[in-house]
Amino acid sequence: MNYKFRYIVAIHLQNILTMKSTLLLLIALLISISSFAQSTVEDDNENGTSLVPILKDVAPVLDELEAEGLEIVRMEIDILKTTKTTSRTLHSDWNYGVAVVGDYRFTNLDIKVYQQVDGNWQLIKKDTSPDKSAVVIIEPTETTEYMIEIINTATAEGYVGGHYALLIFHE
Residue 15 confidence (pLDDT) above 70: no
pTM for the model stands at 0.81
When the pLDDT of each residue in the chain is averaged and rounded to a whole number, the result is 83
Q: pLDDT by residue (tens digit) across 48-88?
A: 889 999 999 898 888 888 888 889 999 999 999 999 999 99
Structural domains of the chain, with CATH: 3-170 (2.60.120.380)
| pLDDT class of 1 with cuts at 50, 70, 90 | very low
User: In the beta sheet, which residues pair with residue 133?
Assistant: 101
Residues whose CB falls within 8 Å of the CB of residue 53, separated by 6 or more in sequence, listed in order: 39, 40, 43, 44, 103, 104, 162, 163
| CA distance to 43, 86, 114, 115, 123, per residue, from 119 (Å) | 44, 16, 12, 10, 13
